[in-house]
Amino acid sequence: MNAVKVMIVEDDPYEAELLQGMLNDHGYHITGTADNLPEALRLFYTKPPDIVIIDVYLHGKRDGVVFATQVSESGEAQKPFIFLTSSVDRETFEAARLTSPFSYLMKPFNEPELQYAIELAIEKFAERFAGATAGAFSAAEGQGVMLNDFFFVKSGHTLAKIQLDDILYIEVEGKYSKIICTKEKYLVQQPLKVLLERLPVNQFIRVHRNHMVNIRSVSKLNLQENEVVLSNGTSIICSRRYIDDFLHLFDVLK
């Protein structure tokens, strides 16, 4: 698991330090803090974050809105962002709204409000760009969304970022699924069938009604026992129903 990377755009040193402390308490990794537009753009492209928290006003100008506009037009570099502001005037709100932000956070705020804003921003971003289901983080634990080559999974009072390459296999756990990674395990509130539909077909394959494996983690095939051995030594039976598809994927002849 990798910590979710957060970039801060804030010109008030006190507010920036307060925000950093809250984020650190929740296990987020801060890529850096910028207090002006040029520095924000430089930091965004040199240390790409997973999410950006942006103060609308920087040194008396709405440069936070300008930054968000440029980021929103950057194609594949787009990231979910949260507007941070103490201003409630209509003109500022309309200017910010035109950038299609993924969440707002009004000053002053507390840690739960910050966490909710982060969850909402990632959820809305996934809905817009990855076809995620609305309300992905509505439950207290185990909900998640997938973006590109990683998952965001709700774990306690924070979000965990799971790289797809770190996943060894996924198994049925009642009505849910358990994701087994190289170092940690996560219970997610999606059935195996749903996860299989959302994961890359050239990387994950079902080998049993209760298991799917990351083919990049496969280290050995025991053809006599129809057994898949993973890089951590775990052995999983490949049922007759799925064995032909599995062998075809590896271009193996029985």
pLDDT tens across 160-173, in order?
788 899 999 999 99
Neighbours of 52 (CB within 10 A): 27
CATH number assigned to the domain covering 144-249 = 2.40.50.1020
Strands 5-9 and 51-55: parallel
The answer to which of 42-46, 146-150, 226-230, 245-249 has the lowest mean pLDDT is 146-150
The CATH number corresponding to 2-130 among 3.40.640.10, 3.40.50.300, 3.20.20.70, 3.40.50.2300 equals 3.40.50.2300
DSSP character string of 149-184 = TEEEEEETTEEEEEEGGGEEEEEEETTEEEEEESS-
Question: Averaged over 28-33, what is the pLDDT?
Answer: 96
Average pLDDT value for residue range 173-200: 88
The full set of domain ranges for the chain reads: 2-130, 144-249
**pLDDT the model gives residue 148:** 61
Question: Does residue 30 or residue 104 have the better pLDDT?
Answer: 30
More reliable by pLDDT, 96 or 177? 177
First to last CA, the chain: 37
**Residue 194: which of 233, 144, 160 has the closest Cα?**
144
| Mean of pLDDT values over 118-136 | 66
Residue 92 has pLDDT above 80, yes or no: no
Average pLDDT of span 91-107: 70
Angle, CA 10 vertex, CA 162 and CA 6 arms, to 5°: 5
What pLDDT is stored for residue 55 in this prediction?
A: 92
Residue type present at position 35: D
Is the Cβ–Cβ distance between 70 and 81 less than 8 Å? no
* Confidence band for 125, pLDDT divided at 50, 70 and 90: confident
Confidence (pTM):
0.67
The residue with greater pLDDT, 99 or 63, is: 63
Q: Using CA atoms, how far apart are residues 254 and 247, in angstroms rounded to an integer?
A: 8
Distance CA 105, CA 242 (A): 48
Reported as a pLDDT band with limits 50, 70 and 90, residue 85 is confident
Please compute the mean of the pLDDT values over residues 191-217 and round it to a whole number: 90
